[in-house]
Homo-oligomer: A and B are copies of this chain.
Amino acid sequence: MTIKAIIFDAYGTLFDVHTVVDKCEQFFPGKGRKISEIWRQKQLEYTWLRSLMGRYEDFWSVTHDALIFALKELKVDLNEQIHMTLLDQYLRLNPYPEVPNALEKLKNRKLAILSNGSTDMLNTVVENAGLSHVFTHVISVDELKIYKPFMGVYQLGVAKLWVNKEETLFITSNPWDASGAKTFGFQVCWINRFNKQFDELGVQPNMILKNLDQLVDRL
């Protein structure tokens, strides 16, 4: 398998979306994990639903709405300042521990991010993690106004990087994203950090690894 470019999903793959748990716990002791889980679940659902309904709003807005839902669902007090502080965490997500070093070792190839995040969100989180220099492209679905796993989104990656999809490795921790990327025609690596169950969507990834260190060893 010749791999000329590697395209990474951002949230949940490079960046730990549950970084927000700690901050949630500070504000709502004992409910932090639950808030964080509902927040993430609804964030994803709203991207899919808005795409199908033809009512695109950018990822910052969807993330905002999903947090509102999570707080209402758990009947915790809505306070604009807490709300903004939590949302702000999305700009400061920690990369998973092995990510910075692994990216350094992979950067003899074209490296890119292709993400649901809005352009501003992505640039900020990448910059805050000190990773701007390793990526040739940081690509947001915002250009198309529709979310993954719509096929056009993966096509956007190919168009921007000027590579063949068959020679592109797509890396994601999200089973539904891996299924979309595989359907599109990428080589796909599913990063399964937490021993999760892959989705039953009729396709399988080309490889399954625990983290990016294993990827460095394989390439």
Contact = CB atoms under 8 A, between A and B. Distances in A.
Interface of A: 42, 45-46, 48-55, 57, 65-66, 68-69, 72-73, 147-151, 176, 179-180, 183, 197, 199-202
A52 B46 contact: no
Nearest to A150: B52
A49 B201 contact: yes
Given A50-B201, A52-B180, 8 more contacts: A45-B176, A48-B52, A49-B176, A53-B149, A53-B150, A65-B200, A69-B199, A69-B200
Q: Looking at A53, A69, A147, A200, which has the most chain B CB atoms within 10 Å of its CB?
A: A53
A73 to B, nearest CB: 5
Contacts of A200: 42, 46, 65-66, 68-69
Majority DSSP secondary structure for residues of A touching B: helix
* Copies per assembly: 2
Contact of A149 (B42, B49, B151, B197): B49
B201 A65 contact: yes
